[in-house]
Amino acid sequence: MAVKAYTLRERPELEPEYDRLADLGWPRFMRQRDLLGPGEFWPSLFTTWADSQFALYDDDGTVAAVGHSIPFAWDGSVADLPESMAALLRRAEHGRRAGTPPTALSALAALVAPSGDGPGSAAACSRP
């Protein structure tokens, strides 16, 4: 089975698939977009950061998995790592607004469709 990868910028019409897999993979409290946590910046993943969101498609065009990531400025030290996902999202957004070039890419989430976890699947392709 061949797997193809596309960014959300390349295939914006498939944004509902990201939500569908989030609904299947995360409990409700994880999907709430509150202003106290990642919810303040999470929606920008689908617009500003669409080049860093990707989906893996099976041969028949079915979305097998999606991934969320975000580029951010990091000096490479443990001390400079953000303390939470919310802090990471804030740093990325503030850096973008300030014109600070990103130096790292952080994975935020990987969601695999329940039917996409067999041998040769997108999930298997994402394993080391």
CB-based contact 32:18 (threshold 8 Å): no
Secondary structure class of 111 (helix, strand, coil): strand
Question: What pLDDT does 28 receive?
Answer: 73
Question: What pLDDT does 126 receive?
Answer: 53
Quick: pLDDT tens for 49-80.
999 999 998 888 889 999 999 999 999 999 99
What residues contact residue 45 under an 8 Å CB cut-off, 6+ apart? 52, 53, 68, 70, 108
Q: Supply the pTM of this predicted model.
A: 0.81
Question: What pLDDT does 119 receive?
Answer: 47
Q: One digit per residue, pLDDT tens: the chain, 128 residues?
A: 688 999 999 999 989 998 889 888 877 766 666 554 566 788 899 999 999 999 998 888 889 999 999 999 999 999 999 998 889 999 999 999 999 999 999 999 999 988 755 544 545 555 55
Question: What pLDDT does 41 receive?
Answer: 84
Distances (CA, A) of 88 to 4, 19, 92: 28, 21, 6
